[in-house]
Structure 1
Amino acid sequence: MNEWKGLSIRYVSEVDFEATSEDEMSFKASERFQLFWVSGNRWMVLNLDENRENVKRIGYVPARCLVKEKPVEEQPWYLEVDRNEAMKLLLTAPNRVGSFLVRPSLYTLSGYALSVRRDDGVSHFNIKWDQEQQFSVGGFPSCLCVHDLIIYLRQYWMVRSQLRMVPYIKVASIEDSWEKPWSDFSLIKKLRAGEISTVFKGKWIGGDRIVLIQSIDKEIFKRQEFMEGINIFKRLNHKNIITLCALCTSEDPVYIVTEYLPKGNLQSFLRGEEGPFLTDLQLMHIASQVLDGLAYLEVKNVVHCGLSCHHVIVGNNLICKISHLEYARMIKNSTTFINTQSKYLLKWLPPECHYYGELSRKTCVWSFGIFLYEIFTLGQTPYSGQSISQVLLNLEAGYRLPMPPLCSAHIYSLMRECWEIKPRNRPSFQQIAEKKLFEELP
């Protein structure tokens, strides 16, 4: 029998439960628990108070009654789709009456909406967020979080109208359209090995097409934050965004297959043999292409989170495309939040990411300023020799990266605008594009 002691994972009850023995505890739906001891199907848990901080009591509960407490975006009933896509999904078998999902919404302060399949079609509800920072739908009572609201609605509709709400079921034909077998691809040459993946030049055997294959451990690929980036990647289509070609997820490791550009990443390109011979117009052309790609992501409410020269790929005729979209995040409201860990390029992220974990539509604007510094220094590393804490202290004191020798005063002025401490004072990518500072090649 497996046993683990001292666990601190938070769980929530989705149903009421009456104790059947002295060492068990009774509870209502939407109560919070801290997992302390796991032994088979009986868990010892700490029951937390309404503030989810202090322990009210301790006892055993059946594991089947609890689910792990997660952010909305990690819940099994959340999906990154719009109203029309939600309707199409819920009306497609095997989904049925009662199937539901929560999706992003641009028209609510909460940033979420609920779609439910009913007898007469699909009903859509705005999830409201009030001044007390509680969530509600229509005339129903407010709840502290979206998860609690869903628990309440599932119980209420079951009692009042016999509507059994069940999370949407992913439709195989939609999910598997990217899926290809390992046998469709062959590995030609190992290009580089990173912290979480190995990258190969490969061949798509069916049409003898050369592709880039990122090989990644299946457990890493299944992480929610990684899958969020992949799902965003699937919906992107722009000439300056690398194209996702296929996924091979049935085997371990997983293959992420994208288009192949022969010149490699921009950082190595700038530092290589061709870098010193690039003209001012060519450097501007590089910046212009990446700006176009970022302006497209801005319209899509997507933040890259890993913008740097290392994550821009170069092809023939100086074609440049933004890659590594597994870093991407969707902005639901004006801001969202991340945990800044080693997978993020910390020196390229603005101070609010480090201090508050805050992402906004202006996050990549700061990074774009750093990216410009890289271009006009031919791939030099920003803040070389400084730790993250030193960089942040210097930024607070007013320090900014110096003007690169290959950079004009107008471009450096833009870089300084990108490095405004307050995100609202930075220009949007649309505003940067309107300045027309980057002249295209004739």
Structure 2
Amino acid sequence: MGCAKSKDATDSPEKSLKNESVRKSQNALYVKDPTSNSRLKNRNSFNLHIISPSEGNEEASVIALYDYEGIHDGDLSFKKGDKLKIIQESGEWWNARNLGTGEEGFIPSNYVAKDNTLETQDWFFKGVSRKDAERHLLASGNKQGSYMIRDSETTKGSYSLSVRDHDPSMGDTVKHYKIRTLDNGGFYISPRITFTSLEELVNHYKKQGDGLCQKLTTSCISQKPQKPWEKDAWEIPRESLKLDKKLGAGQFGEVWMATYNKHTKVAVKTMKPGTMSVEAFLDEANIMKTLQHDKLVRLNAVVTKEEPIYIITEFMAKGSLLDFLKTDEGNKLQLPKLIDFSAQIAEGMAFIESRNYIHRDLRAANILVSQTLVCKIADFGLARIIEDNEYTAREGAKFPIKWTAPEAINFGSFTIKSDVWSFGILLMETITYGRTPYPGRCSTARHPIAFCPSLIPPAPSSAALLSANTPQNPGTLYFNPCPLLAHLQVAPEGLPLSPHHLP
């Protein structure tokens, strides 16, 4: 699954010092990829270095950004820094020749960058937003002074410098600086010193801070991108999958960690026989395949020739957000990170809305977390394209009562606004580290539509909200935000929020 450009950050302006003085598998059965004729833009903000090889030259020269060890017949292995010639562009896999060894084969397009461009520099991150820059720099492995240069979100054709800093009261933070351009093509952050190139600018601030929050140390660690899925490997043979570990069960069956063709770790969702028709299942899969965003779990392939049917997606190492928040690692997360999780989910949902879809089952159990703490929206089993601005559920359908908007429960009609309601309940799950919403009500998570109206909890009064969960009134229905808000007014940043801080 793949994602939309998030809203440009405008809450805190960047600092300026201007006032200072055709890949193929041997075993797969190839059928047409549902997105092969799509004109969708690649909206993955984490695919930092995807390029077009055919701009002006019949054969483009590229530089390898990462090591790649071929895993299929026909792959071309290479090392970081190798120079390659692109022979033919074919989707996400390109045919190339290594200019050092003379060998030819297929390479993943997101592992290379066009020669003699900024993308070949370790410190340049193309297409990364301000918020994603902060996520990268605050990730483990980076330290004070770690930095990156990225495209400016506010001024097209300009750049920004992002630097990891440390504040005794706020902890680790990221500072942003505008890199301004001169009419003659030069660059500067402070007008008292200018540079002919970005490389010269970086080298200067690596020697001395000269007004920055920190002297530049090392470039931000760049995670090796996920290899593209095999071209046209949509319907794959069941024998190519080895189910390694059962991860859980869902509406359609079980979820497994599996290995594809002995080399690629994936997640496999099985469908219980008789749950729905193959045609309906493929409808779901085709919807998932067309939704490409870095905050949505990506669908790779399906197995539908016989039951149980498999749906193969990218593997998310830390499992569901609901389970992760209850682990020791999740319990230690501070409020800013929980807010960041919520922002990531909002990015994915904004993309779904932009594509005129609804999710209908948005909750923490259907958000998956990666090894690098990236949240992605999963389980589109109830998602359907909207017709006439709403989707009316079929009679007898089941859905999560505690996350469903009252108008959807009463009338069985769902809109984008229904997902907004569910997102609000998800926020409650996140801020309370996975607590069940409306405790004591509706112990069963899913109910037939016909039974739902009688299960809607009454809306609380303002007084009830303010007095709920006090020591004198423990275990009441609603979470009382007042103690937390009072604490936030004293310490708005770096609050060591954990379950024992909650009322």
TM-score after normalising by structure 1: 0.49
Higher relative contact order (CA 8 A, sep 6+): 2
TM-score after normalising by structure 2: 0.44
